[in-house]
């Protein structure tokens, strides 16, 4: 193991001590925090997510809080998805774009009250962004990063575990809806959500001093269902077609290119950041799209540090942004971000380190 020295630059989540106690063997950096990524047996962690229930320290999913009379206006200005119908207690998946229409983050928006929202962000500094936009537009809203850290329970048995701890009402929660409550006196918000398609919940801890306590309550409750530690799983999320902004996108990717066009409403008001660019991009025609790749070969061959180019009939048509071994498909699968005129059904050549590898283009999700 290694030693980690938490500082303001490398913040531990409230569940970090629990992750270490569970035998964390690998971690990454996300929002200037440590994100556990493995506990030493990726295969077992994968199957636990597919068949059972997995417990994740996802405290790195920080909340950007918008509070005040203009909180709702700021939320709408930040996102090209129409939020006018969003109810208190509801969450929505919302792309955030810059003025050029480039996607810069893809949070879940939680509406806690008419004047209180959280953006549960992916990896980029939206606290800076939201504060700057609010000030430039002269809005009456306070932008902050509150002491709120999600823990996820994912997998087909997650609902039984969460219901055991909190009561059967959680079974009635609709996707992305949430409720504020407490777990044996620990303040939380409970939402049906999580970065997998295996079903589950996220428990947003609202008191960072009580992470170990909360972790252990769910760990103990989950024993009958075989709960164990895990982390957002690249194999599962790729099979399921989930987008990783920053991973699957580059600095000119717009939402239409990565299958997020359904979360863009072109008729939102003209003051929404990026909306003019998004209208123009749509009108001119989207130049790239995201497809699945099934690579030839039956040995795990994940992507290294660099994206790999994709050739089609001898010409470079884009790149592979992600590649992972799929235990269920028994193949290396990945995402292509390529010219829109190269379509599913075609065979391409991925320019890998050891030489070109044939791959079939397929629609997403894989499973």
Task: List contacts with ligand THG (CB under 6 A).
Answer: 61, 93, 106-108, 120-122, 150, 193-195, 202, 242-243
39 or 195: CB nearest ligand THG? 195
Q: How far is the CB of 183 from ligand THG (least distance, A)?
A: 17
20 or 242: CB nearest ligand THG? 242
- Which single residue is written with the structure tokens 């962004």? 129
- Give yes or no for a contact between 150 and 205, defined as CB atoms under 8 angstroms apart: yes
75 or 342: CB nearest ligand THG? 75
Q: How far is the CB of 110 from ligand THG (least distance, A)?
A: 8
Q: How far is the CB of 205 from ligand THG (least distance, A)?
A: 12
154 or 332: CB nearest ligand THG? 154
Q: How far is the CB of 159 from ligand THG (least distance, A)?
A: 16
183 or 317: CB nearest ligand THG? 183
Q: How far is the CB of 140 from ligand THG (least distance, A)?
A: 26
31 or 332: CB nearest ligand THG? 31
Q: How far is the CB of 194 from ligand THG (least distance, A)?
A: 5
């Amino acid at each position: 193991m290694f030693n980690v020295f938490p500082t303001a630059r490398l913040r531990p989540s409230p569940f970090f001590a629990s992750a270490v106690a569970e035998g964390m063997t690998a971690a990454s950096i996300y929002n200037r925090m440590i994100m556990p990524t493995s506990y030493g047996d990726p295969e077992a962690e994968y199957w636990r997510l597919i068949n059972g229930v997995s417990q994740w320290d996802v405290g790195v999913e920080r909340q950007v809080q918008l509070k005040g009379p203009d909180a709702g206006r700021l939320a709408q200005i930040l996102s090209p998805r129409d939020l006018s119908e969003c109810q208190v207690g509801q969450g929505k998946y919302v792309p955030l774009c810059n003025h050029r229409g480039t996607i810069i983050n893809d949070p879940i928006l939680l509406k806690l009250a008419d004047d209180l929202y959280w953006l549960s962000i992916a990896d980029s500094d939206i606290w800076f962004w939201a504060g700057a936009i609010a000030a430039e537009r002269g809005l009456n809203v306070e932008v902050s990063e509150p002491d709120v850290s999600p823990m996820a329970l994912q997998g087909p048995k997650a609902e039984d575990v969460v219901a055991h701890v909190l009561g059967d009402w959680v079974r009635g929660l609709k996707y992305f809806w949430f409720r504020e409550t407490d777990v044996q006196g620990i303040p939380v918000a409970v939402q049906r959500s999580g970065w997998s398609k295996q079903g589950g919940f996220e428990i947003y801890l609202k008191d960072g001093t009580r992470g170990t306590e909360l972790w252990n309550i769910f760990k103990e409750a989950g024993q009958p269902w075989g709960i164990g530690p895990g982390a957002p799983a690249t194999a599962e999320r790729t099979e399921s077609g989930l987008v990783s902004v920053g991973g699957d996108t580059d600095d000119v990717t717009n939402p239409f290119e990565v299958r997020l066009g359904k979360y863009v409403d072109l008729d939102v008001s003209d003051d929404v950041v990026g909306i003019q660019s998004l209208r123009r991009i749509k009108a001119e025609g989207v130049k790239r799209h995201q497809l699945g790749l099934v690579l030839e070969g039956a040995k795990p061959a994940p992507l290294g540090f660099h994206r790999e180019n994709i050739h089609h009939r001898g010409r470079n048509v884009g790149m592979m942004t992600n590649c992972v071994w799929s235990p269920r498909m028994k193949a290396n699968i990945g995402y292509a971000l390529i010219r829109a005129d190269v379509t599913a059904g075609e065979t391409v050549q991925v320019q890998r380190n050891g030489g070109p590898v044939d791959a079939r283009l397929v629609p997403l999700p894989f499973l």
